Structure 1
Amino acid sequence: MKDDIFLFVNIVQQQSLAKAAAKLSMPAATVSRRLKHLEEQVGYKLIHRSARAFTLSTQGDIFYNAYVDIVEQFEARQQQLEQQMGSLDGPLKVLAPNNISTSLLRPMWSSFIGKYPEIKLDLTLSNETQNLTESRADIALRIGPQTSSALYQKRVGSIKTLLVTSDHYLANNPSPEQLSDLTNHRLIGTHHIAHWQMYNHKTAKQQALRPKFSCLINDVKLITQLVIDGLGIALLPYSEIQHHLEVGKLIRVLPQWQGPVRDIYTLWPSGKLLSNRALCLRDFIEQFLQNELIIQQDAC
C-alpha cells in the first residue's frame, strides 16, 4: 500500500495518470490498475477523472493532504542519498587487518589516499575480527571467507604461505629434506595457520600436517622476527617475508612445498548499498592485489 500511496501523490502532483507514468517510468496501464487497487483498499474513490477533467474527490483531497508531506520528504531524502552515494567526496570508514595493511597493502593505502584526496578515509586496523554493524563501517577487508549470511563478500586476491628459516638456525640444525623431517625441528606457529595443508608444486602432491609447535603466537610480525633471530622454522605469508627473503635475512625451507593459500575478501553488510567511495576502494584493492599476485608467482 505504501508504494501505491507514493504513486497516488505523484498522480495528483502531475494532474494526469499519463504524466505520472512517464515521470516514474511505468506503463500507464500499471498506474491505472494500481490507483484502482488503492481505491479498493481505502474503500472510496480518490480521483474523478474523464477525458477532459481531473479532480480530487473530497476523500481524495483529505488523503492527499495526509500523505503529501511524507512523500515529498522521502523523495528529497532519496535524492540526497543518491547524490551522497554517487559522490567520491565524503567519509569512508574501513576495517582492515593490521598485519597485511602495514606490509603488503602499505603502498596501496598510500596510492589510494594520494589518488583520491576527496575521500576522507577513516581506517581502523586490527587483527581481531570487528563487527561491521556495530562499528558502522562501510566496508572491511578480511583474510578467509566469512560464514555470516549477514555479509556480502567478494574475493579480491590471495597470498601464498612459505616455509622459511634463517642461516643462523641452519648453522646449528640440519636442513630438512622432506616434510617428515620437520618433526625434529623447532616450529613456530600462528593461530591463523594452526594446521598446515601443504602442496608440492612440482608433483602436485598434497599432504596435511598437524605440527607440534615449540611456541604459538598470534602476531605474524613477531614470528617473522623470531625466525630471523634463528629460533626456528615457520610457515608465513609471502606478503610478510618478501623483503626478508630478498635481502637474505630469511631463506626458503623445502622450496618445492607451499602452505595453504590465504584468500583476501572485501565485505560489507547485506542489504546495504555500497557508495561510490566504497566501490572505488574495493576495485582499487582488487587491482592492486592482482598485480601483486603476478609478482608473487614470478618470485615463488
Structure 2
Amino acid sequence: MYDDIILFTQLVKCGSYSTTATILGIPQPTISRRIKNLEELLGVSLLKRDTHNFSLTDAGNTLFHKFKDHAHYIENAIEHLKQQENTISGRLRVALPITVSIEIINPHLGKFMQDHPELELDIDYINTDFDMLRSDYDIAIISHLPERPTQKIRKLYSAKLVACCSDEYIKQYGEVRKLGDLANHHVILKNNDLPSSTIAYRIKDGKATQFYPKSKMLLNSCYQTIEIAQAHHAIAVCLEEHYKQSNLIQILPNYHFGIVDYYLMSNSSEHNNKAQAFINFIGWCFNQIVS
C-alpha cells in the first residue's frame, strides 16, 4: 500500500498519467490499476476522473498533503545511509596481541586516528585464546589458526624467534658459542611458542636440534623476556623485531628458535569501510617490516 500511496503523490505532482508513466517508466494501465487498488483498500475515492484529466477529491487532497514529501524524505534517508556507509566513522572493536603491537602497530596508531577522526577504536590487548565467533570483536590478530575457522582469515607475517642477552650478562656468565653451551645458562621462553623440550633450528638447512638449558622460565608475553634479559641475569628468546629494537646482543645467530605466524581475522559479515580501513592499516604496518 505504501508504494501505491507514493505513486499517487507522484501522479498528482506530474498532473497526468502519461507524464507519470514517462518519468517513472511504468505503463499507464499499471498506474491506473494501482491507483484503483489503493482506492479500494482505503475505501474512498481519491480522484475525480474525466476523459483527459483528473482532479482530487477531498480524501485525495488530504492524502496527497499528508504524503507528498515522504518520497523526498525516503530519498534523503537513503542518500544519508549511503554516505554513512562510505564514511569511516563509528566504533570498531579490535583484539591485538601485546607481543607484536608494541613495535609494529602501536607506533602508528596515533597517525591512523588523526587520519580518521570520526572513528572510535576500542582495542583489547590479549595474550590468551578466545572465540572470535562468540566475541564481539570486528577484527583480531592471532598467532594460531582456529581449528574450525568461521571468519575471514589471512596470513600477515612470519616472525623468527632469536636468542639474545646483554653485554653485561656475557661478562658475568660467559659467552655462548654453541648450542650445547645453553646447558650452563638460564633461558627465558614464551610459553605458547615453543614446545617444553626446546628446539633450535639451524638457519642454513632447517635442521632441528633439542637443547636443554640449565633452567628456564616460561612467560606468556614475548616482550617481557626482553625486559628480564636487560637486567643481565638471563638469556631471552624473543621475536627478532623486539631484539632489533633493544640494546641486547644476539647469540647463536646461525639458529632460530621457532617461527610465529600471525593472522588477521575479521567477522565474515563485516564489509564496511571502517573495518576495511583498519585492515589496510594493519597490512601497511606489517609491510614496514618487510620493506
For normalisation by structure 2, the TM-score amounts to 0.67
2:96 and 2:77 map into 1 onto residues whose CA distance is: 31
Conserved? CA contact 2:138–2:270, under 8 Å: no
Give the gaps of 5 or more residues in structure 1.
1-8, 15-22, 24-50, 63-71, 295-300
1:96 aligned residue: 96
- Please tell me the root mean square deviation across aligned C-alpha atoms, in Å: 4.0
1:139 aligned residue: 139
Conserved? CA contact 2:141–2:264, under 8 Å: yes
- Equivalences for 1:36-55 in 2 at 5 Å? 53-54=29-30, 55=33
Conserved? CA contact 2:180–2:211, under 8 Å: no
What's the CA shift for 1:82? Answer: 5.3
1:188 and 1:148 map into 2 onto residues whose CA distance is: 32
Conserved? CA contact 2:223–2:238, under 8 Å: no
Q: Which of the residues 278, 285, 289 maps onto 2:275?
A: 278
What's the CA shift for 1:234? Answer: 2.3
Q: 1:209 to 1:282 in 2, by over 3 A?
A: farther
1:254 aligned residue: 252
What's the CA shift for 1:230? Answer: 2.1
2:170 and 2:240 map into 1 onto residues whose CA distance is: 20
1:168 aligned residue: 168
1:149 aligned residue: 149
2:158 aligned residue: 158
Q: Does 1:220 align with 2:217?
A: no
Letter paired with 1:293 = V
Q: 1:112 to 1:222 in 2, by over 3 A?
A: same
- Equivalences for 1:187-226 in 2 at 5 Å? 187-195=187-195, 196=198, 198-201=200-203, 203-209=204-210, 211=212, 213-226=215-228
What's the CA shift for 1:184? Answer: 3.0
2:126 and 2:183 map into 1 onto residues whose CA distance is: 33
Q: 1:109 to 1:146 in 2, by over 3 A?
A: farther
2:87 aligned residue: 87
What's the CA shift for 1:133? Answer: 4.1
Percent identity over the alignment is 21
Q: 1:199 to 1:80 in 2, by over 3 A?
A: farther
CA deviation map 1:29-79 (0-9, x unaligned) = xxxxxxxxxxxxxxxxxxxxxx97434698xx98xxxxxxxxx9xx99998
1:20 aligned residue: none
Letter paired with 1:107 = P
Q: 1:78 to 1:98 in 2, by over 3 A?
A: farther
Give the gaps of 5 or more residues in structure 2.
11-23, 42-70
- Equivalences for 1:4-23 in 2 at 5 Å? none
2:78 and 2:153 map into 1 onto residues whose CA distance is: 26
2:267 aligned residue: 269
Conserved? CA contact 2:183–2:211, under 8 Å: no
2:79 and 2:137 map into 1 onto residues whose CA distance is: 22
What's the CA shift for 1:102? Answer: 2.7
What's the CA shift for 1:151? Answer: 1.9
Conserved? CA contact 2:104–2:285, under 8 Å: no
For normalisation by structure 1, the TM-score amounts to 0.66
Q: 1:222 to 1:149 in 2, by over 3 A?
A: closer
Q: 1:184 to 1:120 in 2, by over 3 A?
A: same
1:80 and 1:206 map into 2 onto residues whose CA distance is: 60
Q: 1:102 to 1:155 in 2, by over 3 A?
A: same
1:77 and 1:211 map into 2 onto residues whose CA distance is: 67
2:262 and 2:118 map into 1 onto residues whose CA distance is: 26
Letter paired with 1:220 = C
1:126 aligned residue: 126
Q: 1:80 to 1:216 in 2, by over 3 A?
A: same
Conserved? CA contact 2:143–2:261, under 8 Å: yes
Letter paired with 1:281 = F
Larger Rg: 2
Q: 1:287 to 1:221 in 2, by over 3 A?
A: closer
Equivalent residues, number = 244
Give the 3-state SS of the residue equivalent to 2:237 in structure 1: strand
